[in-house]
Amino acid sequence: MTAFPTFTLFLLCFVPVVACTWIGVRWGRRVAPHLRPESGHLGTVQGALLGLLGLMLGFAFSNAMSRFTERQSALYSEANAIETAYDRAELLPTRDQLRAILREYADLRLQLFHTSSDGPHAEIEARIQERYDAALAACMEGVREAPGLANLELPGVEAINDEFDRRMALARRHMPMEFVIVMLICSAMSLGAIGYGAGLVERRSMGVTMCLAVLTATALFITFDFDRPRRGLIRLDPAPLLDLARKLNATR
């Protein structure tokens, strides 16, 4: 999904839906005297549109929430991998060097989490990779002096990079832009049809219809915001990385 600013995403969700609803109500009121006798099947069409819209919204929200949960889980797994490698480094002759590198790695990982700009983000990623390479080199140097620890130490350090790659892959997985556009169009058209039906029946309040439009737009905004872990209002909890950085720096 394109990295829209939060306010732009808000407008993309609210303006088309609310505007189409209002246009539908006004149009329905204008043509009501001519179409009132023929509007018997409009309720069926509106029900079908709402059902389809509800299905699409439910599917999109479920997938966005699932990805959000996976990203948070991957954050815990990555922190655990770094901490495990740090604890196991106690057995190596190069433990002081390896632990110092892992502390720098954890600090950089926390810094990356709080960075949203693409330029600094790429720079920090490069530094993280450099620190991982240094950690792996320090681990291999220690393993040469204590070959019996190879099966314990090397997988622990390699797991750090595996978890980092998994975390970054999840962070870059978004809804296709085509799906976002289809959701916006379907929502606007469905609420426009609901507004049209409300305009045909005078006893219906425009306020109730607009409330439905606002709720639908809010559901769209929250769904799309879940899909933006670095730029949205709803963000991941940095507690695993914060706790890790505090723990590692306390054991200097």
pLDDT tens-place string over residues 197-246: 888 776 556 778 889 899 999 999 999 998 887 777 888 889 999 999 99
Q: Secondary structure of 194-222 in the HEC alphabet?
A: HHHHHHHCCCCCHHHHHHHHHHHHHHHHH
| 3 state DSSP class of 175 | coil
Q: Give me the pLDDT at residue 246, please.
A: 92
Q: Give me the pLDDT at residue 100, please.
A: 95
Q: Measured between alpha carbons, how far is 135 from 67 in angstroms, rounded to an integer? A: 30
Q: Give me the pLDDT at residue 230, please.
A: 74
Could you count the other beta carbons within 10 Å of the beta carbon of residue 248?
20
Outline where 36-94 has alpha helix (H).
42-88
Q: Pull the structure tokens for residue 116.
A: 């949203």
| Closest-CA residue to 167 (of 73, 65, 101, 245) | 73
Q: Give me the pLDDT at residue 204, please.
A: 58
Q: Any idea what DSSP says for residue 228?
A: -
Q: Measured between alpha carbons, how far is 83 from 90 in angstroms, rounded to an integer? A: 12
Q: Give me the pLDDT at residue 86, please.
A: 95
Q: Give me the pLDDT at residue 120, please.
A: 82
**Averaged pLDDT, groups of 10, the chain, 252 residues long:** 75 92 87 60 78 90 92 94 94 93 94 79 92 95 90 92 92 87 91 85 72 92 86 86 90 72
Q: Measured between alpha carbons, how far is 71 from 166 in angstroms, rounded to an integer? A: 9
